[in-house]
Amino acid sequence: MDTQERIWCGEAAMKYPKQWIVFVNIENDGDTHKPMGVVHLVTPSREEAYAEARIIGKSRGKKAVIEGFNDTPQIGGLSIWSQ
């Protein structure tokens, strides 16, 4: 993937199932009002994703960490963190 490609967060969640995705430069799409961002990191490790988001800080704009689509039965929903 081109490192500067903007993608809808929901689309990335389907593209990277059961992976943790770190987005940077998050903005709402003007037409659909869905969050879009640049994928900075895709990893199977939740801890690595959150650690990378902390390292980035505010240098790359608003950021978010989400879990890709996971059809494993569980209590609760997707984890999301945004700053």
Q: Is 1 among the domain residues?
A: no
Residue 64: strand, helix, or coil: strand
In tens digits, what is the pLDDT along the chain, a chain of 83 residues? 445 778 999 999 999 999 999 999 999 878 888 899 999 999 999 999 999 999 998 888 899 999 998 776 655 555 555 55
Site of tokens 């996971």: 70
The Cα-based distances of 12 to 8, 22, 36, 39, 59 in angstroms read: 6, 10, 9, 8, 22
Domain assignment of residue 10, given as a range: 6-82
Phi/psi of residue 68, each to 5°? -65, 165
Q: How many CB atoms lie within 10 A of CB 39?
A: 20
Our count of domains for the chain comes to 1
